[in-house]
Structures are given as structure tokens and as C-alpha cells.
């Protein structure tokens, strides 16, 4: 790991140094565990007392923080983003050696850039293309005619199915599947008949897809994930969905087919979105929310019932079963009151 002074960090991250800029740092740690050679961080005033007692050699803090601290500090406008960049400086990713592992199987007509790295057990099928400096971890599968851009990193056991397109600087975590068949079925003669899924899945630049997340290919048109989208683990995105640029979706979200989600949206964990909906730009959907209608305006939307004791929930649930009857009785009473 490299060592940097606080002043050298300031030159790379911006902000302003408060205190001794010559303190030498070689790692990032939490306030609780940081030592004199490590950089800690304070995102807000709530942990101010903990920061003062921390053993960190220096701290990244909000530039709005006026309270004095005994440690040297780097004051920045966005501490969260700055600590992320500091982590990248102190813990650079190991570069993979260019070339094709002898235990990989690569079709003869593939186009693989000489600077790409193809790991052991990988399968690259006919007509696939892999861009410069892209890395395939062990046991990845790139389907026929699929396209992978430059500077991508596919961790172990990633599958990019036939004909799909992955942009530049895309990160695909272990076990994720790009371009699996959508759940297309037709009912005929008292049984289900599979509808061929002939579209593609297309990922833009700077997309990140979490472990075991699945993005289905389109039925006829394509499933599209625009630039900068970040997807957590174990998400299901069904066929023909369209996710707008720089949206972020947390774990275990399910999005049914042909739903369009706008740009800069945020969707909390375990939210469920039914199919054929339109969700506007800059919408935030709270964790666990069930979305069953279009959302036409930016804002935060929630439909989670607050936690309560089980006995209270049972009593309230019993009332819910009679809600329609109660509403009808109220309407009847209102009509009676309106009569002269």
C-alpha cells in the first residue's frame, strides 16, 4: 500500500488542510480502530466525541465543521466522496496480467484485445468481442456475438449471454447474469408455451452490477441499463425494462417487465415494482415499498406499514378485512345526514 502525507492527499482530493500536513498515512480505518498511521473520517457532528477520542493520525471532515479537533484534518465539501477516493488511493486494485489462460476456451473467431485478461475456466463463444484492458475472472461465460467494452472487470462466474452489449468501465460482481431469458409464456391447451426472447440486454458505461443480480434480455426490444447505474446484489430486472442514467437500486428489489425508471432515481432494498409502469426522474422509493401505479413527479414515495407488536397487527388486520363494508356504511350515514 502506498504512503501519502495529508498534504499529498489534499493535492489529489482537494479541500484544505487544518493542522500538520506532513503526517504520514498508509491506510484508512474507522474512528474506533484507527491508529496514528491511518486516516479516519467524520461525516457529521453526531460522531464528534468519537472523533476527538480516536487514535487516527488524521481525519477527513466536512468543511462546514467549525469545532476544533486535536488531529490534523482535511476539510472537504463532500466527505463521503472524498473518503471513497482516498480508499482507492490507499488500496489500488491489483492489475491482471494480459493474455488468455491456457484453461480458458475461446472460439477462433473472437476479437479479444491484446491487453485484455481472460482467466481460467472462462468460455468466450463465437463472434464475441472483448475490449482493451478488460478482465474476466475465473469461470466467466461470454456468449456468442456479445460485446464487452474497455476497462471492464468481470469477477468470477459472471455470464453475459449471446448478443448482449456491455459498455466501458463496467463492473460485474460474482454470479451475476446479463441477458438471461425473460419470463415470457403464453397459455395454450391447458399448458404454458415459451415465448422466445429475441431482444438483448444493453448496459451503458460505468455501470456496476452486484453479486447474483439478474438482468433479463428483452422479448422483442432490448432491456436497457443506462450509463452510471449502480445495482446491488440479488436484484431481478425483467425483460424490456429501461433504467435511466445514474439511478441506484439496493438489494433484493424486483422490477417486473416493461417498466421504465427515470434518471437519478433511488430505490430502497426489497422494493417491488409491477410491470408496464413509468417512474419519473429523481424519484426515491423507500425500502420495502410496493409500487403498483405510475409515478409522474419527482419525490420520495413510501408504502410500508410501520412496525408494531404482533397483537396490534392482528387487531388492525381484522379491521382491514371489513374496511370496504365500513366505507359503505359511512357513505350511507352521510346520505342520511344530507336528507332534510
46 contact partners, CB below 8 Å, separation of at least 6: none
263 contact partners, CB below 8 Å, separation of at least 6: 226, 244, 245, 246, 247, 281, 282
* Contact by Cβ (8 Å): 40, 59: yes
C-alpha–C-alpha distance, residues 333 and 226, integer Å: 54
Q: How would DSSP label each residue in 166-201?
A: E-SS-EE-TT-EEEEPP--EEEETTEEEEPP----E
Q: Which one, of 300, 308, 273, lies nearest residue 284 by Cα?
A: 300
C-alpha–C-alpha distance, residues 288 and 43, integer Å: 27
Q: 3-state SS string over 280-340? A: CCCEEECCCCEECCCECCCEEECCCCCCCCHHHHHHHHHHHHCHHHHHHHHHHHHHHHHCC
* Contact by Cβ (8 Å): 61, 75: yes
* Contact by Cβ (8 Å): 163, 200: yes
C-alpha–C-alpha distance, residues 239 and 197, integer Å: 8
What do you get for the CA distance between the two ends of the chain, in Å? 86
CB atoms within 10 A of CB 335: 9
Residues marked active site are found at 239
Amino acid at each position: 500500500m502506498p504512503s501519502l502525507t495529508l498534504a499529498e492527499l489534499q493535492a489529489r482530493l482537494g479541500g484544505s488542510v487544518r493542522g500538520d500536513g506532513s503526517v504520514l498515512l498508509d491506510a484508512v480505518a474507522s474512528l474506533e480502530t484507527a491508529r496514528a498511521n491511518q486516516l479516519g473520517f467524520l461525516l457529521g457532528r453526531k460522531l464528534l466525541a468519537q472523533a476527538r477520542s480516536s487514535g487516527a493520525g488524521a481525519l477527513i471532515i466536512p468543511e462546514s465543521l467549525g469545532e476544533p479537533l486535536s488531529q490534523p484534518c482535511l476539510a472537504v465539501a463532500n466527505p463521503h466522496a472524498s473518503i471513497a477516493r482516498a480508499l482507492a488511493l490507499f488500496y489500488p486494485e491489483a492489475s491482471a496480467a494480459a493474455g488468455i489462460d491456457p484453461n480458458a476456451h475461446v472460439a477462433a473467431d473472437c476479437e479479444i484485445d491484446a491487453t485484455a485478461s481472460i482467466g481460467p475456466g472462462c468460455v468466450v463463444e463465437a463472434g464475441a468481442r472483448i475490449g482493451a484492458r478488460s478482465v474476466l475472472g475465473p469461470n466467466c461465460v461470454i456468449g456468442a456475438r456479445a460485446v464487452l467494452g474497455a476497462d471492464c472487470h468481470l469477477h468470477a462466474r459472471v455470464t453475459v449471454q449471446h448478443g448482449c452489449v456491455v459498455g466501458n468501465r463496467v463492473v460485474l460482481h460474482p454470479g451475476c447474469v446479463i441477458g438471461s431469458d425473460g419470463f415470457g409464456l403464453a397459455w395454450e391447451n391447458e399448458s404454458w408455451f415459451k415465448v422466445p426472447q429475441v431482444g438483448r440486454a444493453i448496459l451503458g458505461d460505468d455501470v456496476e452490477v452486484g453479486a447474483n443480480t439478474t438482468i433479463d434480455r428483452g422479448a422483442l426490444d432490448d432491456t436497457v441499463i443506462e450509463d452510471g447505474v449502480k445495482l446491488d446484489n440479488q436484484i431481478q430486472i425483467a425483460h424490456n425494462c429501461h433504467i435511466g442514467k445514474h439511478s441506484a437500486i439496493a438489494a433484493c428489489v424486483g422490477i417486473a417487465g416493461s417498466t421504465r425508471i427515470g434518471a437519478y432515481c433511488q430505490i430502497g432494498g426489497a422494493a417491488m415494482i409491477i410491470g408496464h409502469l413509468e417512474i419519473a426522474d429523481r424519484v426515491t422509493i423507500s425500502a420495502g415499498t410496493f409500487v403498483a401505479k405510475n409515478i409522474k413527479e419527482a419525490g420520495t414515495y413510501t408504502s410500508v406499514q410501520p412496525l408494531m407488536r404482533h397483537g396490534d397487527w392482528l387487531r388492525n388486520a381484522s379491521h382491514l378485512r371489513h374496511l370496504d363494508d365500513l366505507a359503505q356504511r359511512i357513505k350511507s350515514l352521510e346520505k342520511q345526514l344530507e336528507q332534510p
